Amino acid sequence: MINKEFLPKRIILVRHGESQGNLDGSTYATTPDNKIPLTELGMEQARLAGAKIREVISSGGELSNWKVYFYVSPYARTRSTLREIGRSFSKKRMIGVREECRIREQDFGNFQVEERMKVIKETRERFGRFFYRFPEGESAADVYDRVSSFLESLWRDVDMKRLHRNPFDDLNFIIVSHGLALRVFLMKWFKWTVEQFEYLNNLGNCECRVLQLGDGGEYTLAVHHTEEEMSAWGLSPEMIADQKWRVHASRGDWNEKCPWYLDAFFDPLHDSDDSTKEDEHDCNTSDPNGTL
């Protein structure tokens, strides 16, 4: 098990700022998705996000023992978002940065004709957002697979202490990516089901999700975010309760009250083997000849 002192204190997920594609959907018909730039508003959103992230990490400037490490999608809009976020950090605060192709945008195909994409997205809503695969592109399930691979690499970085940081410094991972990729990141991390994913709302431009290390070593959204925020994102009351449980849970604990660990997959289960035997006994005594 990884020593808690080497775990990042926070994993901060950031969606890119407003892009030209967000402003005008016809952009995708003439510009490759990976080359679509930020708008002026998107640049400003990213600068403000950087200031807010620094505020969170430094506890309003009260803490000085912290560092950041960045992972970024290779798309132009995420690279530009990272550049503007970086204006809030000095070089001595940065351990490093890695461009990571596995957290790129969902592939919707090559050039995207606006009217055709509108029809395709309507079909996706009927089919289900997670398993629907865009023609010549990817499904959310495909993105889930590559994000899962990225997470394995991230944990190897931590486990092998590749970041060479001072254990007395708070380490913060900042992941600059895209709305769908970040939602499946959360789905994988917290073991949410496909049904739960379908209810999740997209992040706004330069909106963040802060996963923070709880008292016992579990990560949770509930340290930094309110119940109202999590509800607005599409988390159910049960999902929010699980986030609150994680604040004090020991690493590796099993939340028996979490309904999607067992209850979502089975009819009501007996608490013990003894309960099963009692039911079998009742059945046998009610029909001593065993004819029913």
Residues classed as catalytic: 16, 105
- State how far the Cα of 40 lies from the Cα of 162, in Å rounded to an integer: 36
- State how far the Cα of 90 lies from the Cα of 77, in Å rounded to an integer: 22
- State how far the Cα of 230 lies from the Cα of 219, in Å rounded to an integer: 15
Amino acid symbol at 175: I
Q: Could you tell me the maximum CA-CA distance found in the chain, to the nearest angstrom?
A: 82
Candidates 201, 110, 101, 179; CA nearest to 147 is 101
- State how far the Cα of 213 lies from the Cα of 170, in Å rounded to an integer: 11
Residue 109 CB neighbour total at 10 angstroms: 16
Return the SS3 of 123: helix
CB 15 within 8 A of CB 205: yes
The sign of the torsion formed by the CA atoms of 92, 221, 128, 25 equals negative
As given in the structure block, the two tokens for residue 64 are 């000085």
- State how far the Cα of 166 lies from the Cα of 149, in Å rounded to an integer: 27
- State how far the Cα of 182 lies from the Cα of 263, in Å rounded to an integer: 27
